[in-house]
Structure 1
Amino acid sequence: MKRKWAVLALLYLILLLCSGCGIVYQEPEESSSAPAPAVTPRPVLPIKPRPAYTPRPTPTAKPKNLNLLTGEPTLRQEAIGMRPVAVVVGNSQASLPQYGISEADLVFELPVEGGVTRFLTLYGDYTAVPEICSIRSCRYYFPVLAAGFDAYFVHWGQDETLTADVLSYLELDRLDGASDRSGLFSRDKTRLNQGYSWEHTGVFNGVKLPEVLQQSGFRLELQVHKSDPIFDFNPVTKLPEGQACTGLTLSLGSEAVSTFQYNEGSQLYYKTFGSQDQRDGRTGKALAFTNVFLLETEFSVRDREGRLDLNWQGGEGYRGYYISAGAAQRICWEKEDEYSSLRFTSEDGMPLHVNTGKSYIAFAAPGAAVLE
């Protein structure tokens, strides 16, 4: 036992001596003469904010009260899904000022014999048609255009040549002042007293139209294939792809020269006729349009009375202009048959997109318009 403790004491003494001499074991150090490897600092990247969550837009349903002629939600409840109304209105200097025209949603201007024109005014809400004057007789291309909108057709007589045949085979629901039993037509006595010719005094009482239609037996609802807007309307106003156009002069006959001037504030084109602003005789409102269409086509004299043939179909090779928001775009146009809608495309065949609002459409000979 004494021997064991002696051995342990001897070992302890040896350890103390080694510690004092500095020969305690250590990890070998790397040579200071060897170059240290280069350390490339890690770039500090800017911290991007986390993008805000944007939900996928949900397709918005068209408002139920969408006016199919303007793209605006203006229809009264009773007019939703119902047919529009197309009315033939005189537009010679002797008929001015007409009334009821400033409330139209779409206005066609069409040449007739004698170097003058007539309007075909369309109202998208049959419950909001005003009193209109002066109602005139139609030529065959007026009911052809009305049929494309599935519209009630309002006129006061027609020429008894080609037009009578066209009215017969189209079988339109129409109201004719020459054979009126509805009480919707009359003569404006004030205009008679003012010296207007008899033919420029015809009045259509659109205010009473809903009551008459309810009792007429006419179909009230639009045909299903006519229940879409007449144009591909833009959700916001866009410039047509073309040249600047802040004004234009349009000649549709020897007594039918109009100008249109663009107002940047209202984004409307204001119409003059002859040398005067064209205004509604009742409301005093100037005729003004968001969209102006000029459809180039041919006319020819058809008979001794000077009545015209008009190419209303267009098709391949037929051009025109779409004018809106201060610019004009060359377009193509066609109407496949009497019951088809007018179709507009860009020159490369893409569907034309149109700004919401009232529109004016003229059928004109090539070169009849001068754009500014």
Structure 2
Amino acid sequence: MNRPMRLAATGTAAMSLALTLAACGQTDATQASSAGGNSDKTIGLLLPENTSSTRYEAFDKPLIEQTVTGLCAKCTISYANADGNEATQKKQFDDLLAKGVKVILLDPVNAKSTAPWVDAAIAKGVKVVAYDRLAEGKVAAYVSFDNGRTGELQGQSLLDALGPKASSANVVMINGAESDPNAAQFKAGAHRVLDGKVKKIAYEQSGQWKPEVATAKMNEAIQSLGKDGIQAVYAANDGMAAAVIDALKAAGIKNVPVGGQDASIDAVRRVLTGEQTYTVYKPYKPEADAAGSIAVQLAEGMDISSTATSITDSNGLHIPSLLLTPIVVTKAKVEVTVVGGGLYKASDICIQQYAEACAAAGVK
């Protein structure tokens, strides 16, 4: 299993580095304009899915495109989403190699299968940047969040919600896909906090990042433990948290803390109404800025050490990395996190049916 070093950087640092690169982009733009503006550098962008998490289409894709085209007037993006299908993503990857791309930003469906892909890219002189999930193989760089810390924040948020009842609490864990190394790191981080502090992890299964699987697993847990045998649920992301909450409601189980991750707008609304206890906000713009900056630097043949300021050790490889810091979002922190950070406008969150919950939480 990959065991990345936990080295974090701030979003501010990533953005300032992107601004530094922007000066190079402006020079490129001038040169491209005088040469007729022809695009001769293509950067591939492959994202993993769009069902369990809405972040990729809503945030990652447009932000990366904006960064790349803003820094390099001669660069274009060739984009595809695998919709959770590993075989589809492999074909998309091969198609990019056939097109003659310079760099591929890869967020893998199954990170454990990518080493041969990366080798094939290297053989063609193509650089692969692992984005959000650490792809196996000799990738040129890795941009993500401190995933172990994310799991710790999730676990601590459940403890905070349980309060003095934690020591007698049975906790259900619905983890992410086993093919995703991030999921293993979230899980390990949560266990570091929960183990020994709660009565026990009474049921633990992978939800595979799929709400329908999370529903089935949660129903299994309810059947196994009984309606009174579950005091809290760790769900690795917001899509699965929504499924867990619906399963608990259907079984008539109330007042059970449930948390997720990704700060999707529906999850933020559930946090405001009290249905979901917390989510974890990973500011997408600094991550996208860093990934776009590194992609342009590699396409231009530039050194990336000013952006990839950390090292991740993975299977004997030392990968230049930028790991950012996640933020917990509770009801009391919606205004200062996802609204104050510019992820959403209060008006986007506070549609009519949530207006009262927003007002009570000071979201305006």
Question: TM-score, normalization: structure 2?
Answer: 0.26
Question: TM-score, normalization: structure 1?
Answer: 0.25
| Structure with the largest fraction of strand | 1
Bigger Cα Rg: 1
